[in-house]
Structure 1
Amino acid sequence: MNDEKDDSVIRERRFKIGANIDIGDLGLGEDYEEVPDPNSPTFDKNETVEEDEALGDVFDPFKEASGEEAGAISSDGTVTSAPE
């Protein structure tokens, strides 16, 4: 029974010690400088981006609709081109 009480005290102390972590030097503030990832490929501004044709068109849910895409409904309720 005494060992069980000591274990809970030790666990509580370890938990409190872990809470005193200083995250000030992690670079999350306004002085953030981007550190290059050694595993990421570098991109030259003069390089052209190759489009993966096998992937095709990917739906972007955050793109604002232009009204001219397939299946777009006009303000009068008509559809200019049928959806795919």
Structure 2
Amino acid sequence: MKERQPALLQQLLKIWEQSVRATHHFLSSREIEQIKEYVPGALNLVPRLVIAREESGAPVGFMGVDGGRLEMLFLVPDKRGNGL
């Protein structure tokens, strides 16, 4: 696992929050804010982090894999269903 730069982690955290707010309607805003505190650590710890990017290089989604298990999968809400 190579080190993940803080700027990248901030971009992925933003994607995480956008995705969660669009799909996890069972969570309150307060709960999302509480969970959000742990996301950067999880992004740093997951052994394999795969990032989907636009042609410009901007991340639009990511998945984290540990062994044979998919641990996280989040996409920018407006990118869902666009062939990513």
> TM-score normalised to the size of structure 2?
0.22
Higher alpha-carbon Rg = 1
Q: As a proportion of its length, which structure holds more helix?
A: 2
Identify the structure with bigger relative contact order (alpha carbons < 8 Å, sequence gap 6+): 2
Structure with greater strand percent: 2
